[in-house]
Amino acid sequence: MFDFGFVLTSEHETLKHGNFALYSSGMVPELRKQFNAQFSMEKYREFLRRMDQRCGTEIHFRVSETPCFFPSELASKLTLYGNELVEQLLGNPAYRKASDAAIPKDWNVPSETADPMWMCVDFGLVREPDGTIEPKLVELQAFPSLYAYQPQLAEEFIEYYNLSSTLTPFLDGLETLSYTKLLERAIVAGHSRENVVLLEIDPVEQKTLPDFLLTQRMLDIPIVNLRNVTKEGRRIFYKINGKHTHIARIYNRCIVDELIKKQITPPFDYRDELDVEWAGHPNWYYRISKFSIPWLKHKCVPRTWYLDQLYTGKLETLELPLAREELLLKPLYSFAGAGIVFAPDDAQLNAIPVTARHDYILQERVHFTPVIETPHGLTQAEIRVMYVWLPGEKMKPVLLLVRMGRGKMMGVDHNRNLEWVGGSVGLMDTQK
């Protein structure tokens, strides 16, 4: 799944890991060499122009100069790990019950689905003391990612750079048509398309607008601003071409944290019993999140603790489980790395109110191994396995999203002034 060269040694040296070999400076060295040799900044600028045109809007996050070439064996391992982690959580009645408390009472939406529709599991690659490379969990989230944008990014890389037609961004035997049909089943679900909406807060202002526009084009559904929705009894509506139109199903892209931060009062109470279906029920955003990590027991999971459980005694003394420089402080509900503190000091930790400590975790820091060979040296990467989970079926891995970076954090906002970093896609050779 990943173009990891993992170890800083000669190009053709390999490390045995399971049943496959990890090349030291590119998972598929011949493809990496070919791409790097033909690259130029002129081509990259033209590539970005074509991506803006493809999306129908300017992309306001950094797009990496390169795709990542991954062996299918590694993709299989990462998707397996993702499956095992989700199964461990949802198969644990104690976790299911505990996760009830993760859902804020003012945002607990009725008619919750049995399983999350969208699942994203993020991994970093780490060199172990014995020299092998292992995936390590960064976080997991039951919320939709760039499901329409990523295939288009892959297609543009393949077409513009004249890459092999046997390369694919898709997992589990999918291709463009079957993937589109899968998303249609998940989002449209047999409804009239005018009654299915992609719902977001001020969508034109969001950095993910390219994905919204591509979703609209793929599925022929409207993009609706939450502010423009109205409620009548148990039904909600929007206007299209002046027509008062019923919303029967919501592809939910709204994050409650943003509503709270911007002090937006929704046109309906999320706790209301509404005549509407959710393509991605909002409660799962809380149930499977950084809140889940302390419950997981797996070799890919870094040690993690709820902050409130580390204060002991009557004097509420904080006992750190690891050396401070090996810890990260993370808020449970944030996107793009917001609020993460490296090696937090006592003042930063004690500044968190007692009543808010349960909304933070301390996590063992994962030191990524640089893995992708670029003109600027080996670059780190974080790999997101994206799944779709239709009702009554198994969770299905569909795509690989990659964040490349050379800073402490992998999000594109944290690498904006660097080159050969940013959002990318994983490509695999279907003939190997």
pLDDT along the chain (432 residues), means of 10: 28 35 57 94 98 98 94 88 97 95 94 96 87 85 97 98 96 97 98 98 97 98 97 95 94 92 93 96 95 95 93 76 92 74 91 90 89 88 96 97 80 64 94 74
- Tell me if 1 is assigned to some domain: no
- In this structure, how many other beta carbons lie within 10 angstroms of the beta carbon of residue 190? 8
Q: Do residues 316 and 218 share a domain?
A: no
Q: Is residue 296 part of a domain?
A: no
Q: What is the pLDDT of residue 7?
A: 26
194 and 114 within one domain: yes
Question: Using CA atoms, how far apart are residues 160 and 43, in angstroms rounded to an integer?
Answer: 9
The verdict on residue 135 lying in a domain is yes
Q: Do residues 311 and 392 share a domain?
A: no
- One domain, residues 171 and 67: yes
pLDDT at 211: 98
pLDDT at 371: 81
Domain finish residue from 312, 341, 364: 364
- Strands, sheet with 243-246, edge to edge from the N-terminal-most edge strand: 230-232, 235-240, 243-246
On whether both 58 and 29 belong to a single domain, the answer is: yes
Pick from 364, 385, 402: which residue ends a domain? Answer: 364
Please calculate the CA angle 30-65-339 and round it to the nearest 5 degrees: 120
Residues 265 and 377 in one domain: yes
Number of domains in the chain: 2
- Both 37 and 91 in a single domain? yes
pTM of the model: 0.89
The string over 150-187, giving b where at least 16 C-beta atoms fall within 10 Å of a residue's C-beta and e elsewhere, is bbbbbebbbeeeebeeebbbbbbebeeeebeebbbebb
d(CA 341, CA 330): 7
* 125: its two tokens: 């690659």
Q: Do 241 and 359 sit in the same domain of this protein?
A: no
Residue 358 lies in domain: 303-364
- Considering the domain architecture, whether residues 122 and 186 belong to the same structural domain is answered as yes
Residues 392 and 338 in one domain: no
- Tell me the backbone φ, ψ of residue 38, rounded to 5 degrees: -95, -5
Same domain, 358 and 372: no
Is 332 in the same domain as 239? no
